[in-house]
Structure 1
Amino acid sequence: MKIDLLVNKPQHIEDVAKMVYKEFVVPTSSKKTYEEVVEFFKRTYVNKFPITFIANVDGQCVGTVSVFENDWKERPQFKPWLASLFVEPSYRSQKIGFYLINALLEHMKKIGYTKVFLKTENAAVYYEKRGWERIETVLDEQGDRIDIFKYTLLNDENNY
């Protein structure tokens, strides 16, 4: 398995768009089209947002994670945000998500960030076990619980 920036592997833009569209757009009330998601991922970068990583196994994109300047307009003071972590179901339980997140955190530290935030509706335990600090729990417009986490990037050893 190899982790790389999507900007270095543009042949996987549509793979990432399909994953994100199916997992994070379709189940919501978002009006974004698949084509808009593809266009979004055509504009990912190395040192400015959005930044997207992919996991590649034998030439196939099997997972992705991004960092956005802001992933929740209700909390503009928190930035940047880890977002859209997804691993294909047949590749789960192989630490691919762990390696994607680790690559993202190391990259953020390298380009000068000291904190990364995220929101999750159903994976609080996963992030708590990996050193993320829950800083807030709120209810969204539908009354669903959202946990907000912060990860502090240390200058020395990061034991993500």
Structure 2
Amino acid sequence: MPLRLEWLADHLQHSDTYAAWIHQQFAYEYAAQPLAEWQREFADGQTNGDWPCLIALDGERLLGGAALARADLTLRPDLGPWLACVFVTPEARGQGLAEQLIDGISQAAKQRGLPRLYLHTQNKQDYYGKRGWTVLERFRAWDNEQWLMVRDL
């Protein structure tokens, strides 16, 4: 069965798993938020527009995802929407899957008439830079250097 990209809203049985992966991968961001609370917020976000997530499925096996977040950086409530929650399972990495997911989110944003997307990253600025994202600023958060980036659609 070929790999397919679909909206998590249509496969909510995977929501808690994906939210747990994000909570663990970006633990520094979620330190103050209990996992169960984040899982509820993320699941709600699939239908209320806060965290619509595109996921990669191999059959029924979840391999990764990326979200089109309404707000993803408390320090910058003036900016949005955001590419957020980008994650691919270790066994599915190195095959361009993250890029497909990012492109899928970019296309969805463009179809909604959005002019640009933002993201913040702690250490993937070179990855995004090679894919058309530009650095807006560097800032400190979560006891670390962060990069705020933008891409026009």
Q: How many pairs are equivalent? A: 151
**How far apart, CA to CA, are the structure 2 residues paired with 1:130 and 1:46?**
29
Contact 2:23 2:30 in 1 (8 A): no
TM-score by length of 2: 0.90
Q: Tell me which residue corresponds to 1:156.
A: none
Question: Which segments of 5 or more consecutive residues in structure 1 lack a partner in the other structure?
Answer: 154-160
Whether the 8 Å CA contact 2:50–2:71 is kept in 1: the answer is: no
Please state whether the residue corresponding to 2:26 is helix, strand or coil. Answer: helix
Other-structure match for 2:148 = 148
Deviation at 1:32, TM superposition (A): 1.5
In the alignment, is the contact (CA less than 8 A) between 1:140 and 1:146 conserved in 2? yes
Quote how far apart the aligned CAs of 1:114 are.
0.8
Aligned ranges 1:60-79 → 2 under 5 Å: 60-79=61-80
Q: Which has a greater percent of helix?
A: 2
What's the counterpart of residue 9 of structure 1?
Answer: 11
Aligned counterparts of 1:15 and 1:141: Cα–Cα separation in 2: 24
The code of the aligned residue for 2:121 comes to: T
Q: Alpha-carbon deviation of 1:48?
A: 2.7
CA contact under 8 A between 2:69 and 2:84: conserved in structure 1? yes
Provide Cα deviations, 1:131-154, integer angstroms capped at 9, x if missing partner.
Answer: 011111122252x2111110101x
Asked whether the 8 Å contact 2:118–2:148 carries over to 1, the reply is yes
Residues 59-93 of structure 1 show CA distances to partners (whole Å, capped at 9, x for unaligned) of: 10110111222211111221111111111111100
For 1:123, the equivalent position in structure 2 comes to 124
Q: 1:102 to 1:50 in 2, by over 3 A?
A: same
Offset, 1:5: 0.7
Q: How much is the aligned-residue C-alpha RMSD, in angstroms?
A: 1.7
Query: Does the CA contact (< 8 Å) of 2:29 and 2:142 recur in 1?
Result: no
Aligned to 1:157: none
Tell me the residue number matched to 1:158.
Answer: none
Match in the other structure for 2:33: 32
Q: Name the aligned partner's letter for residue 109 of structure 1.
A: K
8 Å contact kept, 1:5–1:46:
no
The CA deviation at 1:28 is 4.7
Provide closer, same or farther for how the CA distance between residues 38 and 91 of structure 1 changes in structure 2, counting only shifts above 3 A. same
Distance in structure 2 (CA, Å) of the matches to 1:28 and 1:152: 26
Aligned residue for 2:31, secondary structure, equals coil
Give the structure-1-normalised TM-score: 0.87
- Please give the alpha-carbon distance, in whole angstroms, between the structure 2 residues aligned to 1:48 and 1:40: 11
| CA distance in 1 between partners of 2:41 and 2:30 (Å) | 18
Post-superposition CA distance 1:23-44 (Å, at most 9, x none)? 123x456222221122122213
Deviating more after overlay: 103-112 vs 66-75 = 66-75
